[in-house]
Structure 1
Amino acid sequence: MIYKRFYVSIVIQIILLSLTPVLFLYVRSMPYMLVTTYSLIALWIMQIIYLIYYVNKINRDLSKFFNAFQYQDSTLVFNLQKENKAFENLHKSFNQIIHAFGKVKIEKEKDFVFFQHTIQLVGVGLLAFDSKGNVRLCNKAFKELFRLDDFQNISELSCLESEFPNFLVQLKTEKQKLRNYLIENRLLKLAIKAVDFRLENDSIKLISFQDIKSEIDKGEMEAMNKLIRVFTHEIINSVSPISFLSSSLINLYERNDVQNPQSLMSKEVISNSLLGLKTIRKRSKGLISFVDEYKNLTQLPQARFELFSVVKLFEHIEMLFREECQSEGIEFDVSVNDEIQELIADEKLITQVLINLVRNSIHALEGLASKQISLSVNESNPVSCIKVLDNGTGIPNELIDNIFTPFFTTKEKGSGIGLNLARQIMRLHDGSISVSSIPKSHTEFTLHF
């Protein structure tokens, strides 16, 4: 038994305590044993005190053991050599637990140091504070972003903006905010996101600050370069033939800067001249139309939000394309989960988007034997997702990233503004449009509201 020695020791002490009073009574009857009598009384008292001390040793050891945990002291060691052998197993267990606790503490400190170094190297600004505004965490990126020194409470951040501390406190969990700040003549475009959690008995808010100005500038530059390439291509395609045609017309009337005699002005020359001028006029109108289409992209009307029936919206789209789909042999399918489903949007603008998408699907189905187009929505109400699916030729992988670029088109007579216009309309609704396509299989456009 583990504590056999302890039990034997207790039993022996109890026996001695029992025998001492008996011996005291025996000795007391002998007058010449007076000194021995008082010695037995003292011995009995000492035995009681020692027994109490001996029994309380476990409590003292437990107290030392728990105090070590309370103050996170992993240096406490119970000496197995000097201690009473009756407590050897107990002290051995204490030492093993303290050793394991020390290892856990070391691992925890290692993880903490690793975590501290990691957040300092992260390029995203991080700030964490408790319910009283006391700063629990602030990394180097945050201080560099706002040009700040050490601070203890978020109230000190009012130096950046008077309402900045209140903004941090009221920032909703996992909802991203975009804010602009002017810090030492630097314009910061920040994406700010927060998360709330509890740490022991206190609530903590952790907020990330990411400067997206460079990404926005890069995206704008890429979009501008794409637009310039499209403009250059379209203008050169129109101006080059106009230039050559103009030179040909001039050659009909003069040679080497010398005008030809009027006698050479035959009906054929006049006819060619009129044909050339008409061609120039037609191409010039094409350029004007091209510029007008660009102007339509930059002057979208204000969205007027209202609640309207999705069923009626789909019926309207189906009605517009019914005869064309029948003549082309296209199976047009409309799918709505519930007839009471509604959508919060500008009905006219969303109708325009769907018309453009269905029109593109019809073109993608040309030359196919089996032709299918479907309109569908998700199950939520109000609707948050509309899908337009066709089983057409699909979009090649190398072109799918460019289909929303203004004036980019794969169709011979396409203007290249339909999909870009659709994307801008969805942005007016704080939504987006996405596409997935497998060549020679299907294409699916999704409107996210």
Structure 2
Amino acid sequence: MVLKRFSILVILRIMLLCGTILAFAWVIQRPEMFFNQLTLAAIFILQVMELIRFVNQTNRELSRFLLGIKHADFTITFHQAHLGKSFRELEDSMHAILQAYKQVKIEKEAQYQFLQALVTRLPIGIISIAEEDIVVINATAEKLLNIEGYRNWSLLKLRHPTVAQALDSVGDHGRKLIEFKTSENTAHLTIEVSTTFILDKSYRLITIQDIHTELEQKEIEAWHKLIRILTHEIMNSVTPVASLTETIQGMLTDKSGQLKSIEALTTDTLGDIRFSLNTIHKRSEGLLDFVEKYRALTRVPKPAIQPVRLHSFLKTMANLMEPEMQRHNIALQWHVTDENLQASLDSNLIEQVIINLITNSIYALQQVSDKHIYLGAYLHENRVIIEITDNGSGIREKEMQDIFIPFFSTKKEGTGIGLSLSKQIMNLHGGSIKVTSVPHEKTTFYLTFKA
């Protein structure tokens, strides 16, 4: 193996050092050569120092190089090429490492700038907190909370204690809806908090979204649907009334527009007028009935909620509906998973809801030969569920979003009140009503209560 230049230089220095030691050993035996002894001792010390300096030179250069990388000083270089080929290869390797590190640094900075641009343009407010420092906050969050320029979480708490309390109540993970008031307006914000650990440091990521616009849009859509249905029902009643009124006026006036005399009215004409008046009266009563049902929809009584044992409650409902089931040749089954299962509800109002749902099931089973209705209750995820299932015609997908809208009905003679009223009653109980349906196979309504 060919010795490298560095190795040769080290060996040469060691050999010179050994020569100095031998010379020093020879002159030390001759007292008359005292000054030569001092000279050789000094040379020996200088040679040792030079050997140490030469050996550590590479370590110093490497240390300087790595320190430059640590502080991102990309101008630093490794100058040891004069020591031979192996050190030129080391210099090339160090240069390649430097360029790779520089490239990683550039890519990291580009990714950071891209992330900053992305976060800034998101329509959702984002805040990242490490201890009491705000690491990331975008313009949307600053605008929603009116905290432009804030970078310290303690100062933000002083500015908006309500928001801080809401976030503290959520904890490290969770979601909450709050009402945020400013001097100008009131916003409805949904706040979601998650916590993660990066390099043993805790970061809280907070997302904030203003749902006021979405709520307004949904409210407008609901009003549009309601107005469309109300207009449809009212026009169905008013149009024939207006038409019959015009017909009666034509019967009672002549061609010149003058009122006819009694003698001019024939028996057939009087019969037609009477028939028209009866029709107008009937449609007026229908319109009054419609208005009365609308008033009933807006005047749902406050429920008298108390614990109810569901086994007894559903048994009573089954007995109540049994005659109707027999009349329509329907098999009614009911089951409660736990005889002691209870739910907090107003039994009278929930009876009304269940009767309405069973009535809808009876209608859906008209074209089915083997008719079944199932009524059950069980506990699921700390919620009490009352389930009403039938194997009738089902609900089409395009109607699923509209069935709870007032006056929307799939029945020819339906009023569209029942399901909307049922939903109001469930909302007043702090619960919910949901439906799933597979047309011509199965439809299930779920009434959810607090346990």
**TM-score normalised to structure 2 length:** 0.80
Check 1:31–1:210 CA distance in 2 against 1; reply closer, same or farther (3 A cut).
Answer: same
For 1:358, the aligned partner's letter is I
Check 1:361–1:248 CA distance in 2 against 1; reply closer, same or farther (3 A cut).
Answer: same
Partner of 1:233: 232
Partner of 1:211: 210
Distance apart, 1:408 and its partner CA? 0.8
Show the 5 A alignment for 1:48-67.
48-57=48-57, 60-61=60-61, 63-64=63-64, 66-67=66-67
Partner of 1:438: 438
Distance in 1 separating the partners of 2:339 and 2:90: 75
Partner of 1:224: 223
Distance apart, 1:358 and its partner CA? 2.7
Runs (5+) with no aligned partner, structure 2: none
Partner of 1:177: 177
Summarize deviations over 1:182-233 as a string: whole Å, max 9, x none.
44x4443433333333455654433333333332222222222211111111
Distance apart, 1:374 and its partner CA? 3.3
Distance in 1 separating the partners of 2:9 and 2:206: 63
Check 1:310–1:83 CA distance in 2 against 1; reply closer, same or farther (3 A cut).
Answer: farther
Distance in 2 separating the partners of 1:360 and 1:251: 44
Distance in 2 separating the partners of 1:376 and 1:243: 50
Distance in 2 separating the partners of 1:344 and 1:7: 91
Check 1:408–1:176 CA distance in 2 against 1; reply closer, same or farther (3 A cut).
Answer: same
For 1:193, the aligned partner's letter is E
Summarize deviations over 1:283-319 as a string: whole Å, max 9, x none.
3232222112212222223345544444444434433
Check 1:182–1:287 CA distance in 2 against 1; reply closer, same or farther (3 A cut).
Answer: farther
Is structure 2 residue 354 aligned with structure 1 residue 354?
Answer: yes
Distance in 2 separating the partners of 1:244 and 1:404: 33
Deviates more, 1:439-448 or 1:234-243: 439-448
Is structure 2 residue 140 aligned with structure 1 residue 137?
Answer: no
Q: Is the 8 A contact 1:181 1:188 kept in 2?
A: yes
Partner of 1:47: 47
Show the 5 A alignment for 1:113-132.
113-132=113-132
Say which SS state the counterpart of residue 81 (structure 2) adopts: coil
Deviates more, 1:211-220 or 1:233-242: 211-220
Partner of 1:399: 399
Q: Is the 8 A contact 1:129 1:137 kept in 2?
A: yes
Distance apart, 1:115 and its partner CA? 0.8
Q: Percent of aligned positions with the same letter in both sequences?
A: 33
For 1:243, the aligned partner's letter is A
Q: Is the 8 A contact 1:343 1:382 kept in 2?
A: no
Distance in 2 separating the partners of 1:106 and 1:248: 86
Check 1:237–1:181 CA distance in 2 against 1; reply closer, same or farther (3 A cut).
Answer: same
Check 1:148–1:381 CA distance in 2 against 1; reply closer, same or farther (3 A cut).
Answer: closer
For 1:233, the aligned partner's letter is H
Say which SS state the counterpart of residue 193 (structure 1) adopts: strand
Distance apart, 1:441 and its partner CA? 3.2
Deviates more, 1:220-229 or 1:164-173: 164-173
RMSD: 3.9
Check 1:22–1:157 CA distance in 2 against 1; reply closer, same or farther (3 A cut).
Answer: closer
Check 1:98–1:421 CA distance in 2 against 1; reply closer, same or farther (3 A cut).
Answer: farther
Deviates more, 1:358-367 or 1:170-179: 170-179
For 2:421, the aligned partner's letter is L
Distance apart, 1:60 and its partner CA? 3.5
Distance in 1 separating the partners of 2:398 and 2:224: 18
Check 1:359–1:65 CA distance in 2 against 1; reply closer, same or farther (3 A cut).
Answer: farther
Summarize deviations over 1:101-144 as a string: whole Å, max 9, x none.
33322222111100111111112233334433x43222222334
Partner of 1:196: 195
Deviates more, 1:90-99 or 1:229-238: 90-99
Distance apart, 1:74 and its partner CA? 4.6
Say which SS state the counterpart of residue 78 (structure 1) adopts: coil
Distance in 2 separating the partners of 1:146 and 1:389: 47
Check 1:378–1:50 CA distance in 2 against 1; reply closer, same or farther (3 A cut).
Answer: farther
